[in-house]
């Protein structure tokens, strides 16, 4: 028996069906799959990320708009295969979505979470 299931197999398929308890030693790995907008969030210096969070909290989309320009200044993202201009425009699109949907509070909440993600990425980066 293999300790880890291969790609495409579930953890249950790798375990024999002897009525084993759920905590029988199978290791399950969870990886977050990010969409293109979410993966375009740049890894910024921590103070810049905090400023963007502050801006996003009080003016939805403004911090995301500012973060788009950090991509042009060389901030890396989780989209290494995309060109810098494409990632810049993805961040501009995210900022516009936040601004346009802030009227119904969805954009404001999204904007705050976006800023929190910026701070989390910045803390991992430094």
SS3 for the chain is CCCCCCCCCCHHHHCCCCCCCCCCCCCCCCCCCCCHHHHCCCCCCHHHHHHHHHHHHHCCCHHHHHHHHHHHCCCCCCCCCCCHHHHHHHHHHHHHHHHHCHHHCHHHHHHHHHHHHHHHHHHHHC
> Could you report the per-residue pLDDT of 82-105, keeping only the tens digit for each?
888 999 999 999 999 999 999 999
- Could you give the CA distance from residue 46 to residue 123 in angstroms, rounded to a whole number? 6
Angle subtended at Cα 56 by Cα 78 and Cα 45, rounded to the nearest 5 degrees? 45
* Whether residue 5 has pLDDT greater than 70: no
The pLDDT of residue 19 = 55
Spatial contact of 117 and 41, defined as CB atoms under 8 Å apart: yes
- Could you give the CA distance from residue 91 to residue 21 in angstroms, rounded to a whole number? 46
Q: What does pTM read for this prediction?
A: 0.72
Banded pLDDT at 1 (limits 50, 70, 90): very low
The pLDDT of residue 36 = 86
As a whole number, mean pLDDT of residues 7-25 equals 54
* Percent of the chain's residues with pLDDT above 90: 58
> Could you report the per-residue pLDDT of 37-96, keeping only the tens digit for each?
889 999 999 999 999 999 999 999 999 999 999 999 988 998 888 888 999 999 999 999
- The domain limits of the chain are 44-125
């Amino acid at each position: 028996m293999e300790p880890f299931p291969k790609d495409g197999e579930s953890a249950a398929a790798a375990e024999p069906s002897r009525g084993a308890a759920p905590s029988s030693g199978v290791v399950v790995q969870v990886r977050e799959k990010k969409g293109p907008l979410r993966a375009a969030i740049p890894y910024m210096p921590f103070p810049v990320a905090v400023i963007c969070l502050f801006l996003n909290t009080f003016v939805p989309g403004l911090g995301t708009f500012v973060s788009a320009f950090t991509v042009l200044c060389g901030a890396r993202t989780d989209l290494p295969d995309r060109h810098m201009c494409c990632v810049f425009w993805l961040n501009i699109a995210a900022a516009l979505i936040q601004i346009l949907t802030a009227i119904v509070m969805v954009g404001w909440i999204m904007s705050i979470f976006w800023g929190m993600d910026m701070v989390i990425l910045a803390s991992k980066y430094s």
